Amino acid sequence: SSLFCFFLCLNQAKKQSQIRSTIIQYWLRILNIKLGWIHDFDKIVIEYVTLFYIEFYYYCYYYYYYYFLPLIKKLYPKMQARYFELLQILQGHERSIRRVKFSLDGRKIVSCSGDKTVGIWDVASRKQLRICKGHSKYVRSAAFSPDGKIVASCSWDKTIRLWDVESGDELMKFDECANLILDVNFSPNGENLVSGSSGNMIHLWDVHSGKIVQTLAGHSHEVWSVQYASNGEMIVSSSYDKTICIWHAKSGKKLKELKGHSSTVINATFSPDNQHIVSCSADGTIRIWDLASEKIFKILNVSSSSVIDAKYFPDGKTVVSCSDNIIQLWNVQSGNEIQQLEGHTSNANSVDVSPDGSTIVVCFADSTLGIWG
């Protein structure tokens, strides 16, 4: 029995050895197959990944160049510009407000109205500080002196009046003009005033004497707007005769005449660097002119029959305009609209930008002012 058990164990050991040998052979075979597959798979993966990245970069370039880049170019001005929102509507006049302007320090606003008054407002508190009374007819324009202590206003009563900002009292009346006075502005040194009139003339006034010291003739119809360049060397005027004229401030000589508008040029102002002019017209366009070449640099087509006012921002890169009840911001370089100011539905008559570019004021036909910031 012991011998039988020995042979039985020996036989079982042989079987286990055969089993182990068979398992090892199959394992090696499978391992070889897997190793071969892995080697081939690496080649396939490398080729596939290479092709994938080639196609991926191609489609990235295609969509960037044909879709994203044009979109970025279109939106870039909006990304650059500040977004303005309505801060407050101010009330104080009884009739339509014709003109609004900031003081040079940006702390005050002056307004003039069909109610024959001139209003002075504090920007920080958004309150009316003074109401100046004395004109007998519609007040067409008003502006601060460079030091902010005096306001000059002009009226259809054919007078220019100076007002003390602190007290609101009338300081002086200029009455040598025989026609309706449509616009008035101070010279940068505060020594003179320039005015445009319905008599087709531009007058320079001495602030201290109240007398006309020079008359500039050249327009064939009434002069709607007049303004000094920031360096005081030139004056720009716009007229019902569809032209814009540039004058030498000291000699009174006409330097340039810009033609291109097909209707009344309602307003024209210098750019901050005095190298360009922005003009707006009853022909429904805003035009930016290069003074050196006397050519139109850009035409901004507004969806309105008439553009009432247009002003540069202090950086010279943006223009704000008003037409009917639409107030728009424009990128000067591209000519694209940046933003429409919302929050008011009445027709706008005038717009101005604070010296630091942070605030916009607009006056309306419903006798209110709107402040955006």
Helices (H), the chain: 2-63, 69-80
Greatest CA span in the chain, whole angstroms?
151
Identify whether the C-beta of residue 78 lies closer than 8 Å to the C-beta of residue 339. yes
Strands (E), 178-308: 181-186, 192-197, 201-206, 212-217, 223-228, 234-239, 243-248, 254-259, 265-270, 276-281, 285-290, 295-301
Which superfamily does 86-372 belong to?
A: YVTN repeat-like/Quinoprotein amine dehydrogenase (2.130.10.10)
Place of tokens 């709107």: 370
What predicted TM-score, i.e. pTM, was given to this entire model? Answer: 0.79
Angle in degrees, CA 152, 155, 159, rounded to 5? 75
DSSP annotation of 66 reads I
Strand, helix or coil at 57? helix
Report the Cα 28 to chain-centroid distance in Å. Answer: 78
Neighbours of 250 (CB within 10 A): 11
User: Can you give the pLDDT of all 373 residues of the chain as single tens digits?
Assistant: 544 444 444 455 455 555 555 545 555 555 554 445 445 545 544 555 555 556 565 556 555 555 655 554 455 444 456 799 999 999 999 999 999 999 999 999 999 999 999 999 999 999 999 999 999 999 999 999 999 999 999 999 999 999 999 999 999 999 999 999 999 999 999 999 999 999 999 999 999 999 999 999 999 999 999 999 999 999 999 999 999 999 999 999 999 999 999 999 999 999 999 999 999 999 999 999 999 999 999 999 887 889 999 999 999 999 999 999 999 999 999 999 999 999 998 999 999 999 999 999 999 999 999 999 9
How far apart, in whole angstroms, are the C-alpha atoms of residue 148 and residue 165? 8
